[in-house]
Amino acid sequence: MNGVTGRMGTNQHLVRSILAIRSSGGIALPDGGVVWPEPLLVGRSEDKLRALCEQHGLDRWTTRLEDALDDPAYPIYFDAQITSERPSAVRAAIAAGKHIYCEKPIAPDTAIALDLVRRAQEAGVKNGVVQDKLFLPGLLKLKRLVDEGFFGRILAARGEFGYWVFEGPEPAAQRPSWNYREEDGGGIVLDMFCHWRYVLDHILGPVQSVSALGATHVLGRSDEQGRPYRSTADDAAYATFEVGEGIVVQLNSSWCVRVNREELFELQVDGSNGSAVAGLRRCKIQAREATPRAVWNPDVADPTDYRAAWQEVPDSHEYENAFAFQWRLFLRHVVCDEPFPWDFLEGARGVQLAELGRRSWTERRALGIPELTV
């Protein structure tokens, strides 16, 4: 597990996924066997690796990736490094014959992403990319509504993602400083458009075109040591997508917005027969017959409580952490050859949308999304 001393690597992948799977007794198999993940932590800092192992009762770590890749006891390589460091490490893991699971974006641009796809296919190694939002309760409920035909004909969707990331040093930033340096693979377009590709493709239909405008709103920030630096990457993006059969989707992504919604991400989907607002965990619906009759009259106070006309979609079961759930699927894919459709090519599609979004921003025009081939 390379790069797990970072925020996401530690919290979501090591603690809430791999260690949680171990705490639950591993992954039970139909034949009575158990998949038991044994992590070897890889990183650049001996002190951080040693402290992380001591905190969680682990004893295997190294600062030499080549040693980890040479060890036959570890058939899977996981990468949660910064984006700029990922391709070279993944290439080395492919050459070593490891199965590979990695964070998104899989690469900083489409050409490099497709190169990784080809290399993995030629080597015959199993591969996957983290697409965690597909396994969040709110979006699982939304997907179920789509599949059940609740909306009728889907017309449009609009979404808001983001929160205020402090500039530092006080209060300290909630995100790593490399996120705001383009030279290190930062930027909200590359980060979030990879998410929006799989969310839209999976829930509403294939993304057909993108029109985007990005911005760097906060120019000066402080890094983890409190040193000031100039932001070189975009920290907000405003986009319109054409999806499926004529669905218009507007999505705002920002690390420079103060939250006035129930969750940090919300997506409202409107259809001829009903609407839904899905967040990370919650989902509310309003059917056609429950829709209030709105009349425009700005000269008097509106007597309608519009929020009261929405109904909560109940949980159908207890939901596991989204990262842990996908980890289980990938481990079963490696061990049992069970299906895992979220491969490197799916990851490359996310990078493609980010790349076209940035190009749309530069060229000030909408761009179609060509099919990716390898």
User: Which pLDDT tens digits describe the chain residue by residue (374 residues)?
Assistant: 999 998 899 999 999 999 999 999 999 998 999 999 999 999 999 999 999 999 999 999 999 999 999 999 999 999 999 999 999 999 999 999 999 999 999 999 999 999 999 999 999 999 999 999 999 999 999 999 999 999 999 999 999 999 999 999 999 999 999 999 999 889 999 999 999 999 999 999 999 999 999 999 999 999 999 999 999 999 999 999 999 999 999 999 999 999 999 999 999 999 999 999 999 999 999 999 999 999 999 999 999 999 999 999 999 899 999 999 999 999 999 999 999 999 999 999 999 999 999 999 999 999 999 999 88
The residues of the chain that CATH labels 3.30.360.10 are 133-317
CA distance 199 to 243: 11
Query: Looking at residue 316, what is its pLDDT?
Result: 87
Secondary structure (3-state) at 155: strand
Architecture per CATH, 133-317: 2-Layer Sandwich (3.30)
Describe the crossing of helices 344-363 and 110-123 by its angle, rounded to 10 degrees: 170
Query: Looking at residue 341, what is its pLDDT?
Result: 97
Query: Looking at residue 303, what is its pLDDT?
Result: 92
CA distance 52 to 15: 10
Start-end of H helices in the chain: 7-8, 20-23, 46-56, 65-70, 86-95, 110-123, 137-147, 188-203, 322-336, 344-363
The residues of the chain that CATH labels 3.40.50.720 are 7-132+322-352
Question: Is the distance from CB of 367 to CB of 360 less than 8 angstroms?
Answer: yes
Query: Looking at residue 374, what is its pLDDT?
Result: 87
Question: Domain 7-132+322-352 has what CATH class?
Answer: alpha beta
Phi, psi for 112 (deg, rounded to 5): -70, -40
Query: Looking at residue 343, what is its pLDDT?
Result: 98
169 preceded by a cis bond (ω within 30 of 0): yes
